[in-house]
Amino acid sequence: MYHFQKKTAKCLEVITKCSLFAAEISLKLDKTSYMKKLTDKEIAIMNVLWDGEPMSMRDILERLPEPQPHFNTVATFVRRLESSGMITHRELGARFFLYEPAVSREKYAEMVNKESVNKFFGGSYMEFISCLVEQQEVSVEELKELIKMVEKKK
């Protein structure tokens, strides 16, 4: 009987490790769960990619607002964005790559908005909207439009 208990305990240990590993993988598959907040320069590069088709490093550089950074600086930011999972690339030839977003503008905005509402308003979207109303950032017409949008989703 003791041998059976040891085997059972070992099986439970393996199952637990597999479950933890599966949970870790599923978190990584949901990009919003580990997406990092971007710097202003990274957002500028992402905006170029979100607004266009897949493009080369030179294309990205040409579309950045003035003053344009050095090519190597852009290359460094692009590598960082790629390593963080925000963009991907396709190789078209020796040392020629086309870059494109791996995360949509909407998905990134959703993550940033959720983080801000959680951080500053305790997760309450009602408090967030109330703050916008108090600061006169949202008009009555816009609120009515929001209400219509919510009612359509019901």
pLDDT digits (tens, 9 = 90+) for 44-61: 999 999 998 999 999 999
Indicate the pTM of the whole model. 0.66
28 and 42 both lie in a single domain: no
48 and 85 both lie in a single domain: yes
Domain extent for 48: 36-101
Give the tens place of pLDDT for each residue, 57-93.
999 999 999 888 999 999 999 999 999 999 999 988 8
- Residue 43 vs residues 51, 52, 64, 72: alpha-carbon distances, Å: 12, 14, 11, 17
Q: What is the CATH number of the domain that holds 44?
A: 1.10.10.10
Q: Decide if 49 contacts 87 (C-beta within 8 A).
A: yes
Neighbours of 85 (CB within 10 A): 14
Please, what's the b/e burial string for 35-60 (b: 16 or more CB within 10 A of its CB; e: otherwise)?
Answer: beebeeebebbbebbeeeebbebeeb
Number of domains in the chain: 3
Rounded to whole angstroms, the Cα distance separating 154 from 82 reads 38
Rounded to whole angstroms, the Cα distance separating 91 from 94 reads 8
Specify the pLDDT at position 42: 95
Specify the pLDDT at position 33: 45
118 and 87 both lie in a single domain: no
96 and 40 both lie in a single domain: yes
Specify the pLDDT at position 125: 86
Give the tens place of pLDDT for each residue, 95-149.
889 999 999 999 999 999 898 899 998 988 888 888 888 888 888 888 888 888 8
78 and 44 both lie in a single domain: yes
Residue 99: exposure state from Cβ atoms within 10 A (0-12, 13-18, ≥19): buried
80 and 114 both lie in a single domain: no
57 and 94 both lie in a single domain: yes
